[in-house]
Amino acid sequence: MVLYRTALITGASSGIGAAFARELAERGSDLVVVARRAGRLRQLARELGSEYGIAVEVLTADLTEPSGVARVEERAAAGVDLLINNAGMGTNGHFANLPVDGEEREVRLNVLAVLRLTAAALPGMIARRHGGIVNVSSVAGFQALPGSATYAASKAFVTSFTESLAGETHGTGVHVTVVAPGFTRTTMSGEGAGVPGFLLLDADRVVRAALDAVERGSVLVVPGSQWKAIGLATRHLPRPLLRAMTRRLNGAG
């Protein structure tokens, strides 16, 4: 039995998003794949449709733009069984030195798109008393992160927002889960370059942990024992100590 007949995945053209698409296709779900790069989406759709015999709908949209969000909102509101808010971006550098337009764009993608697509999909799921939402956050959202201030803050929003929604949807038949991975090895994006091997996660492992969690109704999942330990520490260490540690790790003295 297919638990989620139709899944909409943002940021599906590469990395964790593409891994979500492949894993869900293997589990028998039809897909709506969303990203900016039409060519990669169409290639992914052909591959998964041919290999698994599922229907794959391609939806090209830039979720940093209101028009792109509106296009995907319309599709989400029309009815999906599983929404995966995976699309995201991060900037690096001291906030005072970064172009504010780029930081705003990051907030639009990491925060506003998650909020709006969830708002589009959730009422229908509740009415049908069936559905799931997976929001991709990060262990970065558990801590202050000098050099990635906007990214860490945006992921803190995603985690808190999801945990709050899980409380609101309890007993409705809708499961809401946030997955907070650490550094993840993705063959297409090159993420994780220069990171010690023991800290790297495989995208497939992250995806399986997230999907298993939403299916069983778990609210928060941190894939990997190493990142569970780090996540636990960063959530429970005294905040002044944590800020001092992250300053030193980022060379701020």
231 belongs to a structural domain: yes
198 belongs to a structural domain: yes
- Confidence check: pLDDT of 149 > 90: yes
Q: Which of 20, 142, 151, 227 is catalytic?
A: 151
- Confidence check: pLDDT of 187 > 50: no
Distance of alpha carbon 38 from its chain centroid, rounded? 20
Q: What is the pLDDT of residue 190?
A: 43
pLDDT band at 239 (very low <50, low <70, confident <90, very high): low
Q: What is the pLDDT of residue 193?
A: 47
pLDDT tens, position by position, 30-39: 999 999 989 9
The length of the chain is 253
Q: What is the pLDDT of residue 225?
A: 53
What is the edge-to-edge ordering of all strands in the sheet holding 6-10? Answer: 56-60, 30-35, 6-10, 82-85, 131-136, 174-179, 220-221
46 belongs to a structural domain: yes
154 belongs to a structural domain: yes
Cβ(108)–Cβ(157) below 8 Å:
no
110 belongs to a structural domain: yes
Indicate the residue type of 77: A
Name residue, tokens 């699309």: 87
41 belongs to a structural domain: yes
pLDDT band at 73 (very low <50, low <70, confident <90, very high): very high
Please report, rounded to a whole number, the percentage of residues in the chain having pLDDT higher than 90. Answer: 70
pLDDT band at 156 (very low <50, low <70, confident <90, very high): very high
Indicate the residue type of 166: A
pLDDT tens, position by position, 196-238: 454 556 788 899 999 999 999 999 988 755 545 455 556 555 5
- d(CA 249, CA 182) in angstroms, rounded, equals 16
Indicate the residue type of 105: R
Judge whether 4 counts as a catalytic residue: no
Q: What is the pLDDT of residue 248?
A: 52
pLDDT tens, position by position, 44-62: 999 999 999 999 999 999 9
Q: What is the pLDDT of residue 102?
A: 97
- Confidence check: pLDDT of 96 > 60: yes
Q: Which of 14, 252, 11 is nearest to 148 (CA)?
A: 252
The residue segments making up the domain with residue 91 are 6-249
1 belongs to a structural domain: no
Average pLDDT, the chain: 86
Widest CA span of the chain, in angstroms? 56
Q: Which residue has the higher pLDDT, 253 or 3?
A: 3
Q: Structural domain tally of the chain?
A: 1
pLDDT band at 181 (very low <50, low <70, confident <90, very high): confident
- Confidence check: pLDDT of 195 > 60: no
Burial degree of 21 (CB within 10 A; 0-12, 13-18, 19+): buried
Check which CATH number belongs to the domain holding 143 and give it: 3.40.50.720
210 belongs to a structural domain: yes
